[in-house]
C-alpha cells in the first residue's frame, strides 16, 4: 500500500475488497485486523474462557448442587464473552483509526467501511439483525458513532484516499469461488 509501512498481510478477502472503494478504506480494514493482533485479542479471549470454564467446573465438583445450574451458567458465560468480543472490536477499531491516521490516510474513510459492513450485513441477513447484546460485533451504527466521536475528540486527520488507484487495481480481479473459476 503505497510503501507507507502498513503491513501487507491481513484477513482481507477478495469479496470485501470488491465492496471497498478506496485504498484508505482498505487500510482501515487492515488497521483494524492489525489492532486485533497488537491487542492480543485471541490469546486474551482464550485465557478468559479457559479460566471461567475451569472455575465453573471446579465449582460444580466442589458443590454438586451447582450442577443443576451448569447449563444456565455456561449460557451466562457465553453471553459475557460476547461482550468481551465487542470490546475487542471497539479497541481494534480505535487502533485501526490510529494506524491509518499515522500514515496520513483520511480517517473519515473508516466511516465509509462501516456503511459497507452495514449494507453487506443487511443483504446477507435479509435486512434483519440480532440484538447487540447477542452479537459478537457492535452494530455498524454504533461503531460509526463511536469512531465519529473519536475523530472529533482526537482531531485525527489525514488526506490520503487514493480512490482511482485502488479501483484501477481491482479492475479485472477475479471474484467468487476460485475452485469453480479455474475448472
Is 33 part of the annotated catalytic residue set?
Answer: yes
Round the CA-based radius of gyration of the chain to a whole number and report it. Answer: 20
pLDDT, position 10: 40
Kindly give the parts of the chain with pLDDT less than 50: 1-10, 181, 183
Give the H or E element holding residue 41.
Answer: helix 41-62
Burial of 23 (0-12, 13-18, 19+ CB in 10 A): buried
The residue with cell 462501516 is 114
Residue 160 DSSP one-character state: B
pLDDT, position 100: 95
Buried b (16+ CB within 10 A) or exposed e, 32-42: bbbbbeebebe
Q: How far is CA 139 from the centre of its chain?
A: 11
| Cα angle value 90/34/115 (rounded, 5°) | 50
Residues 146-174 have pLDDT tens digits of: 999 999 999 989 999 999 999 888 887 76
Phi and psi angles of residue 26, each rounded to the nearest 5 degrees, phi first: -65, -40
Q: Which of 25, 33, 91, 94 is catalytic?
A: 33
Q: What is the pTM of this model?
A: 0.67
Amino acid at each position: 500500500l503505497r510503501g507507507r509501512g502498513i503491513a501487507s498481510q491481513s484477513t482481507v478477502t477478495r469479496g470485501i475488497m470488491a465492496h471497498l472503494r478506496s485504498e484508505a478504506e482498505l487500510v482501515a480494514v487492515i488497521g483494524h485486523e492489525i489492532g486485533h493482533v497488537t491487542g492480543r485479542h485471541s490469546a486474551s479471549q482464550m485465557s478468559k474462557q479457559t479460566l471461567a470454564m475451569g472455575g465453573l467446573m471446579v465449582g460444580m465438583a466442589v458443590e454438586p448442587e451447582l450442577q443443576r445450574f451448569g447449563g444456565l451458567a455456561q449460557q451466562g458465560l457465553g453471553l459475557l464473552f460476547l461482550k468481551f468480543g465487542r470490546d475487542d472490536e471497539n479497541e481494534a477499531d480505535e487502533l485501526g483509526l490510529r494506524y491509518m491516521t499515522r500514515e496520513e490516510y483520511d480517517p473519515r474513510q473508516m466511516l465509509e467501511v462501516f456503511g459497507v459492513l452495514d449494507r453487506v450485513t443487511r443483504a446477507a441477513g435479509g435486512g434483519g439483525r440480532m440484538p447487540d447484546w447477542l452479537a459478537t460485533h457492535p452494530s455498524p451504527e454504533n461503531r460509526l458513532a463511536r469512531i465519529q466521536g473519536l475523530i472529533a475528540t482526537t482531531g485525527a486527520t489525514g488526506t490520503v484516499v487514493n480512490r482511482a488507484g485502488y479501483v484501477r487495481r481491482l479492475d479485472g480481479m477475479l471474484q467468487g469461488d476460485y475452485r469453480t473459476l479455474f475448472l
